């Protein structure tokens, strides 16, 4: 009677794991390959959303006559944008800069609407409507790209990386011209930005504009010449590396998109004849890629014109985008099922998103201000303005009296 | 044939069930239909002989039928039922696994949900090592694979 029971069959593991929180699921992914594979099954997140009240879907960066107006589409109700996850609790219309699978967003108050033309950055958790303004980086340099990583959920710790264009975009070193990016990193632990060494790319190369993809603690970006730019959070360093054939060949595929696939870096490549391929970087160190899937997207032709890949939602479900809609395309099931969200406005970036409903501390309690508003930032400034004005008036009246 | 909708008081038909280890049980239809497979059997008309259940042993079947009996009782309140369930599922892991497999095989949705929630509660908050020890699961990742999965899920692993 002391014998231990054997491992449960896959459908039982599915039944159990779909009842866990996102954090517990993260830990279960390390238990065994079987458990890991189960958490990435195509209907896993849908069931988890219903059973454990988690949220899964994507944020879409929409624009309403030049004003940013992000919307959320849930995997469980694709036909409509979900108003419960709107960002209207923030103090101004925002543009999403980065999203994480731990429910945290980085947003920028679109400075075009502000008289001082200095942007404000907020971190927020839309599911609990918590938000906090973070100190500004060097905003006189134009932002090329921002990305965010959650390092730990309890207690919350996250880092934000920013690449910006310095005054002189090009620099010369040993008679070779390089394109230069300023690199800064924000740590929620220190609540401050820190400048890192500049990123120098050979002339002609540049970091792509699409949102970065995070996998295994690394931020990846596809460069226009089909190389990959990688930023390593642990060493705060960067590198670029080549892709294997045919991924390296420009114009071999009509469209290529870096994606996160089951915790690894992947690439969705759209070719001719309504075919799409999923490639995955199997070996992190050796940078070995393999083609995992060949997907027919013919079924999408009648649904939405000119769809291109945006992300992998789960094993067997690709997130595609068209001119006016976002499509969750389940290509694994016998008859491909297609869920379409018609987006009424113009949209550009799409951010895959997952969240729970647990409150977090976006700013450590040991720092002043606590959770909530940006009031703490403005008050000392106003106070010093008032004090200085009084001092100025006093000096003026003194001089006037004695002259 | 007797009526299909029979309240607990009237003597409805009984079903005979035979477990893996040849234990036989007699159970009222009203109780047995908690299991979807018996529900379909009853609706379609069932044979007189005992129904063989090669996937469930006698001890587990007895427990499952006890649960079905309690849940088929119309006089019991929801609070009492919840209390009963909490006590019922507080069993050691081997028994819990047997209940889980039986509930799945017999297609008893509520019991399956109860057992799954209990196993999920046993997983909550545990580290991957602790989970493996609790459920006697072999770690089949290579050290390199484990390192990659660890990096991807480091945020969930705590301080």
* The predicted structure's pLDDT at residue A308: 93
Least confident among A54-63, A153-162, A299-308? A299-308
Residue of A20, A27, A231, A264 to mutate when probing chain B, most B C-beta within 10 A = A27
Note the residue count of chain B: 159
Handedness of CA B98, B102, B103, B104 (dihedral sign): positive
Number of residue pairs across A and B with CB atoms under 8 Å? 115
Q: Tell me: the pLDDT tens digits for A222-273?
A: 998 899 999 999 999 999 999 999 999 988 999 999 999 998 999 999 998 8
Shortest distance between the Cα of A25 and any Cα of chain B, in A, equals: 8
* The predicted structure's pLDDT at residue B46: 63
* The predicted structure's pLDDT at residue A377: 47
- Which of B97, B119, B155 lies closest to A150 in CB terms? B155
Mean pLDDT of B135-141: 91
Q: Tell me: the pLDDT tens digits for A39-58?
A: 999 889 989 999 998 999 99
Q: Tell me: the pLDDT tens digits for A84-112?
A: 788 999 998 899 999 999 999 999 987 65
Whether residue A6 is predicted with pLDDT greater than 70 in this model: the reply is: no
Tokens for A46? 């849908």
Q: Using the beta-carbon criterion (under 8 Å), do A27 and B152 form an inter-chain contact?
A: no
* The predicted structure's pLDDT at residue A373: 44
Distances (CA, A) of A158 to A218, A322, A360: 13, 32, 12
DSSP output for A219-253: EEEE-TTSEEEEEETTTTEEEEEEPPTTTTSTTSS
Whether residue B4 is predicted with pLDDT greater than 90 in this model: the reply is: no
Q: Using the beta-carbon criterion (under 8 Å), do B137 and A32 form an inter-chain contact?
A: yes
Q: Tell me: the pLDDT tens digits for A18-38?
A: 999 999 999 999 999 999 999
Shortest distance between the Cα of A43 and any Cα of chain B, in A, equals: 18
Higher-confidence position of A136 and A4: A136
Least confident among A98-107, A112-121, A307-316? A112-121
Place A375 in a pLDDT band, splitting at 50, 70 and 90.
very low
Q: Using the beta-carbon criterion (under 8 Å), do B150 and A19 form an inter-chain contact?
A: no
- Which of A8, A34, A36 lies closest to B149 in CB terms? A36
* The predicted structure's pLDDT at residue B86: 92
Residues in B touching A32 (Cβ below 8 Å)? 132, 137-141
- Across chain A, what does the average pLDDT equal? 87
Mean pLDDT of B99-127: 93
Place B88 in a pLDDT band, splitting at 50, 70 and 90.
very high
The C-alpha atoms of residue A341 and residue A358 are separated, in whole angstroms, by 27
Does A24 contact chain B (CB < 8 Å)? yes
Q: Tell me: the pLDDT tens digits for A193-231?
A: 999 999 999 877 888 888 999 998 899 999 988 999 999
Mean pLDDT of B99-114: 93
For residue A194, count other CB atoms closer than 10 A to its CB. 13
The ipTM assigned to this model is 0.85
- A45, A55 contact by CB (below 8 A): no
Q: Using the beta-carbon criterion (under 8 Å), do A27 and B128 form an inter-chain contact?
A: yes
* The predicted structure's pLDDT at residue A281: 95
CA-wise closest residue to B84 among B101, B71, B103, B75: B71
């Amino acid at each position: 009677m002391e014998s231990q029971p054997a491992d449960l069959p896959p459908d039982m593991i599915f039944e159990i794991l779909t009842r866990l929180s996102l954090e517990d699921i993260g830990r279960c992914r390390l238990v065994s390959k079987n458990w890991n594979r189960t958490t990435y099954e195509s209907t896993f997140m849908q069931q988890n959303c219903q059973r454990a009240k988690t949220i899964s879907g994507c944020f879409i960066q929409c624009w309403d006559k030049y004003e940013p107006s992000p919307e959320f589409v849930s995997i469980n109700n694709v036909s409509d944008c979900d108003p419960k996850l709107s960002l209207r609790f923030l103090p101004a219309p925002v543009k999403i800069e980065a999203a994480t699978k731990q429910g945290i967003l980085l947003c920028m108050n679109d400075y075009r609407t502000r008289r001082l033309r200095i942007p404000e950055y907020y971190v927020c958790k839309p599911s609990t409507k918590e938000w906090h303004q973070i100190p500004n980086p060097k905003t006189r340099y134009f932002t090329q790209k921002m990305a965010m990583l959650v390092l730990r959920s309890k207690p919350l710790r996250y880092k934000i990386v920013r690449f910006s264009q310095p005054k002189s975009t090009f620099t010369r070193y040993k008679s070779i011209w390089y394109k230069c990016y300023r690199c800064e990193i924000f740590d929620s632990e220190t609540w401050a930005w820190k400048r890192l060494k500049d990123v120098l790319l050979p002339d002609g190369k540049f970091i792509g504009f699409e949102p970065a993809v995070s996998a295994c603690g690394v931020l990846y970006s596809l460069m226009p010449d089909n190389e990959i730019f990688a930023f390593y959070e642990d060493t705060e360093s960067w590198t670029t590396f080549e892709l294997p054939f045919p991924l390296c060949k420009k114009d071999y595929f009509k469209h290529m998109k870096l994606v996160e696939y089951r915790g690894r870096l992947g690439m969705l490549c759209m070719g001719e004849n309504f075919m799409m391929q999923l490639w995955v970087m199997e070996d992190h160190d050796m940078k070995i890629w393999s083609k995992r899937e060949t997907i027919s997207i013919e079924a999408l032709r009648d649904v939405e014109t000119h769809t291109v890949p945006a992300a992998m939602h789960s094993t067997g479900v690709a997130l595609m985008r068209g001119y006016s809609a976002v499509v969750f395309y389940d290509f694994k099931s016998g008859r491909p099922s297609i869920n379409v969200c018609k987006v009424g406005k113009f949209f550009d970036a799409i951010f895959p998103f997952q969240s729970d409903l647990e409150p977090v501390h976006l700013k450590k309690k040991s720092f002043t201000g606590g959770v909530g508003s940006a009031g703490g930032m403005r008050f000392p400034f106003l106070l010093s303005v008032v004090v200085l004005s009084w001092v100025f008036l006093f000096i003026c009246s003194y001089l006037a009296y004695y002259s | 044939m007797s009526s299909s909708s029979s309240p607990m008081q009237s003597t409805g038909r009984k079903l005979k069930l035979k477990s893996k280890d040849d234990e036989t049980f007699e159970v009222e239809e009203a109780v047995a239909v908690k299991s979807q497979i018996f529900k379909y059997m009853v609706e379609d008309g069932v044979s007189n002989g005992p129904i063989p259940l090669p996937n469930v042993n006698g001890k587990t079947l007895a427990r499952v039928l006890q649960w079905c009996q309690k849940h088929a009782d119309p006089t019991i309140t929801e609070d009492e039922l919840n209390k009963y369930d909490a006590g019922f599922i507080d069993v050691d892991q081997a028994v819990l696994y047997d209940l889980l497999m039986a509930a799945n095989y017999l297609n008893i949705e509520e019991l399956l949900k109860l057992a799954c929630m209990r196993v999920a509660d046993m997983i909550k908050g545990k580290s991957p090592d602790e989970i493996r020890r609790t459920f006697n699961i072999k770690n089949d990742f290579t050290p390199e694979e484990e390192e990659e999965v660890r990096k991807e899920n480091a945020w969930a692993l705590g301080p």
